[in-house]
């Protein structure tokens, strides 16, 4: 999986800015556990301030880390530091109530965006 290069259980090269590892979040006081879900996708299970867990995935096509389907539940993965900061802020505030939404991208809307 290419996502293993972006979300990692163990950060093989600590100076490599291209991997979001557990250490990035734990150094900020956020609990994170590396998992591989039932769809064989790697993710980080991240616990919020209310002890609720959300999975942080990576969307390679759009270069996002995401933990839900809302606009404020994703962040660019191009800069790991700011991405870890955004995930930390969201976890400290607390995840949105309810089930974690799955991110769906309607490519037909993207292709026809210039017509809107």
pLDDT tens sequence across 3-54: 444 555 444 444 444 567 778 888 899 999 888 889 888 888 999 999 999 9
pLDDT at 87: 94
- Cα–Cα distance measured from residue 76 to residue 69, given in angstroms and rounded to the nearest whole number: 14
Question: Longest C-alpha distance within the chain, in Å?
Answer: 45
The residue among 115 and 65 whose pLDDT is bigger is 65
- Cα–Cα distance measured from residue 31 to residue 39, given in angstroms and rounded to the nearest whole number: 23
- 43 CB contacts (<8 Å, ≥6 apart)? 7, 34, 35, 36, 37, 55, 56, 57
Alpha helices in the chain (DSSP H): 22-26, 80-93, 107-111
């Amino acid at each position: 999986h290419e996502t293993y290069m972006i979300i990692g259980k163990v950060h093989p090269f600590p100076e490599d800015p291209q991997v979001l590892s557990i250490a990035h979040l734990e150094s900020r006081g956020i609990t994170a556990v590396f998992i591989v879900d039932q769809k064989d996708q790697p993710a980080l299970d991240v616990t919020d301030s209310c002890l609720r867990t959300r999975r942080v995935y990576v969307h390679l096509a759009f270069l996002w880390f995401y933990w839900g389907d809302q606009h404020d539940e994703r962040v660019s993965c191009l800069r790991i530091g700011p991405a870890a900061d955004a995930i930390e802020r969201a976890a400290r505030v607390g995840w949105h109530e309810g089930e974690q939404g799955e991110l769906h991208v309607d490519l037909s809307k993207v292709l026809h965006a210039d017509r809107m």
